[in-house]
Amino acid sequence: MASNTMAGLVAGSHARNEMHVLHGEQRPPTRQSVAKLCRVCGDEIGVRADGELFVACHECGFPVCKPCYEYERSEGNQSCPQCSTRYKRHKGCARVTGDDEGSLDGDDFNDEFQIKNTKDQQNVFAPSENGDYNPQQWHPNGPAFSAAGSVAGKDFEGEKDTYNNDEWKDRVEKWKTRQEKKGLVGKDGGNDPGDDDEFLLAEARQPLWRKVPIPSSKISPYRIVIILRLVILAFFFRFRILTPAYDAFPLWLISVICEIWFAFSWILDQFPKWQPTNRETYLERLSMRFEREGEPNRLSPVDVFVSTVDPLKEPPIITANTVLSILALDYPVEKVSCYVSDDGASMLLFDSLAETAEFARRWVPFCKKHTIEPRAPEFYFSQKIDYLKDKVDPSFVKERRAMKREYEEFKVRINALVAKAQKKPEEGWTMQDGTPWPGNNTRDHPGMIQVYLGSEGALDVEGKELPRLVYVSREKRPGYQHHKKAGAMNALVRVSAVLTNAPCMLNLDCDHYINNSKAVREAMCFLMDPQLGKKLCYVQFPQRFDGIDRHDRYANRNVVFFDINMKGLDGIQGPVYVGTGCVFNRQALYGYDPPVSEKRPKMTCDCWPSWCSCCCGGSRKSKSKKKVHRGFLGGPYSKKKKMMGKNYSRKGSAPVFDLEEIEEGLEGYDELEKSSLMSQKNFEKRFGQSPVFITSTLMEDGGLPEGTNSTALIKEAIHVISCGYEEKTEWGKEIGWIYGSVTEDILTGFKMHCRGWKSVYCVPKRAAFKGSAPINLSDRLHQVLRWALGSVEIFLSRHCPLWYGYGGKLKWLERLAYINTIVYPFTSIPLLAYCTIPAVCLLTGKFIIPTLTNFASIWFMALFLSIIVTGVLELRWSGVSIQDWWRNEQFWVIGGVSAHLFAVFQGLLKVLFGVDTNFTVTSKAADDAEFGELYLFKWTTLLIPPTTLIILNMVGVVAGVSDAINNGYASWGPLFGKLFFAFWVIVHLYPFLKGLMGRQNRTPTIVVLWSILLASIFSLVWVRIDPFLPKQTGPVLKQCGVEC
């Protein structure tokens, strides 16, 4: 396969001391090639008197020559066209109105800002003065200066432009009225032209989010019914235990045990939903606060992680769409970096990303110009909506048609790569320059890093910079444990910390594209909140899915979990981490504790003696015994926070990193603080043998140390993804994604909550992310099997919520929720027994409940009513439809008697005996065009238990009805209770039966089911009646035997 990359692929192994740039080639024009030309007039910029390159703006470095700079200061708006920062006076330039009287002269000005020469501009990663990564944006075709002040940067007046004049005046007047009521604005001072600016500033100071309380008329009855249901359960179990069925004692005992377990499971599931919470965000306030006109953009940078393993099972076109939606985010391009983890070292994915990077040069500006949603082309062009709605640009139709054609050509190129990858050459894959592909052996290959876009990548077709796109494949060698997805995610955490070190990280599966381009802004409303942001470990978004049939037969959407359970957890300590669609606080993944709010000191009286203070309840603690909150590393957390605020780098041009530099950075702290910080079990034992990475962990606000260059950083990045890097460290134990379960997401979030971190559930009006889900029965059951197996592994590990984390900061209702996530697979055992009991009762003629009195029947009726009312009220406050709720109930039974049951036994075999069992799947092709996969039948062992239950209960119904016919009218009364439970099982398993039999173009399953039942009953009745045999009226004559 050939590839067309933007920079050379770097492959190497730290242990073998190898580093190779495998495929350098001529790159498209980058910003460095035009850095010496003025972007206004096109002339050469020239140099200053000291021989250094003239730099007009020291905030962004936008290339402007001195004549244009002087003209703009004297005749224009006196600001930089790139970042809108006001130009400062250079030495030898005339003063203009607005210059500070005490402005620095040229020499002092240069000393303060330390301008780098053009050689330093060749660095891939150029940090700003405050240590944050702040790459420059270049616009070759950018607009020239104008007296009206039109700039290429973001226009802050966009908030005002969204309203017409009347609407804006009305909004300002309402604000003035509120201010007058508060006594903040006089009634006679309302015509000041600066009122609009004052209004915007006041608006920006408002909270970025708020809780939306659920009306008490909806939540209060819900809580009352929960309490009533608890009381009814107590009386119900009193009756069940004190009134055994002696004629069917074994069945009665099994049923009571099952019912007690169901009640326990219901409590674990119900009480974490006691205080559900809704939240809403204010994106315009976020923009007004952090994207002010004339100031650098202060939004927090974000690193986006996309994980993939096998491109033949995870189609490259799907991964490409996810990457394209990330690159087209509505977020400053210099603050977005996309890292794609290829855990299969596939050249197919490598070449697909090269094609994706090339297509992004046209797709990203098209998305931003016309503000289209979603920004994944496959799903945008397949929308069945009026795409012309709200579009006023006459060129849109023409450009959309051209873009659709280019995307189809892009798909053809990707399909050609996939077709070529189906058959691997005997000598292995070869790159464009003839070099063998380093990942030909997927289990034994060096680490690989390729930067496609970014500060050294190609510009888009409009000459603007694109977000950074980085291909990462971690090193793999035989004999090392790689920990699957969790290990790949930890490798991405380290490599991103070395290359960009954004304080926030977004984690996405390769099939989850960004459906809402403002999704990251939604998360930043919480993470950048001055009060809540520092205490948040992550912001979790709900998962939404495409391509699911209208009826959602197997509850693939998981609406009940995402719209009821997760909102309930948001009212406690936060939702659980579900593996994708989550924006992390990087510091929380490093195992640090959240900041501790300082409590106000108690009022004390110094007039009493110390011995009296103890008796009177006063407190006179000496200053030397002041309480110190300790963080994860054992040292005082507040001091660690001070340490994070600094950037530690060696002064000079050579980027040499050593732990001694960190120690030098601690100058100014006393010896006690230095010893507590530097002797915290040694940073290397925690984070590994990478001084660059260790330095990045101390930078709470992100960014890179000054003095770094691309070569040193790439070399260090290869080091941190080496296969032996995590040995004898805390990675996977206390840091990063936690190892020990196939559901590493639950375990990782649980560890963070145990340390006291909080999480937030963000549900924007437009779904933030959308993905694909398996819609046929067998694939859905295997997905549920994997989740349940992970829960069983956690239950049998030291991290089990039943005994882990006591004495920490995990709230007890949050603990109940986590307990529920790891014990729910064990419900499969009592559920299987309970679903078998109706058939046994019908076949044997016995029943688990004795004859009911009128008083006892009240508790049964009350219990059923409380279950129904609880469900109705839950749907009322959550907005979930009754169809989604019912599908969830059905699949709870289907998954419980199949996937959950197998997960319990597979988990026990794996953890206790080391036996790893796999269930094979064989498939048969489907011929339906729409939702064809829904009717794709795949036989698997998981189908055996529910199939057996359906047959047993159907046979039981037939046998019970025939027995009642034989025994006469008196036997019909006890039969109804048995039939009720049998039909309860059959109705819940109906979607499973439909999955085995149903198709849209065949006889409906319900007709087949009732036909079998009615035919069987009618046959038995016919045999019982025997209409064709003559009936004898006299005595029956039989042949006598020996004992006659």
Is residue 791 within 8 A of residue 822, CB to CB? The reply is yes
Alpha-carbon span 409 to 403, nearest angstrom: 10
* Set 342, 593, 745, 779: catalytic member: 745
* Set 132, 303, 342, 343: catalytic member: 343
Alpha-carbon span 60 to 1040, nearest angstrom: 115
Q: How far is CA 309 from the centre of its chain?
A: 18
Q: How far is CA 1013 from the centre of its chain?
A: 47
Return the closest-CA partner of residue 902 out of 799, 792, 985, 740: 792
Neighbours of 817 (CB within 10 A): 25
If you ran DSSP here, which 8-state letter would residue 775 be given?
-
Q: Phi and psi of 137, rounded to 5°? A: -100, 135
Return the closest-CA partner of residue 53 out of 38, 33, 74, 75: 38
Helix axes 990-997, 972-988, angle to 10 degrees: 60
Contacts of 949 (CB under 8 A, 6+ apart): 832, 835, 836, 839, 897, 985, 989
Please give the structure tokens belonging to residue 121: 């501009």
Return the closest-CA partner of residue 591 out of 756, 462, 720, 710: 756
The β-bridge relationship of strands 302-308 and 336-342 is: parallel
Please give the structure tokens belonging to residue 827: 């419900």
Neighbours of 418 (CB within 10 A): 16
Terminal alpha carbon distance of the chain: 94
Alpha-carbon span 299 to 891, nearest angstrom: 43
What percent helix, strand, coil does the chain show, rounded to 5?
45, 10, 45
Is residue 908 within 8 A of residue 900, CB to CB? The reply is no
Is residue 94 within 8 A of residue 87, CB to CB? The reply is no
Contacts of 936 (CB under 8 A, 6+ apart): 776, 923, 924, 925, 926
- Residue 1020 class from Cβ within 10 Å (0-12 exposed, 13-18 middle, 19+ buried)? middle
Q: How far is CA 269 from the centre of its chain?
A: 22
Q: Is 18 helix (H, G, I), strand (E, B) or coil?
A: strand
How many angstroms separate the Cα of 350 from the Cα of each of 162, 308, 310, 311, 489?
A: 42, 12, 12, 10, 18
Active site residue 745: yes
Cis geometry, peptide bond prior to residue 374 (ω within 30 degrees of 0) = yes
Q: Tokens 């990942």 correspond to what residue?
A: 439
Alpha-carbon span 122 to 55, nearest angstrom: 16
Question: Which of the residues are catalytic?
Answer: 343, 745
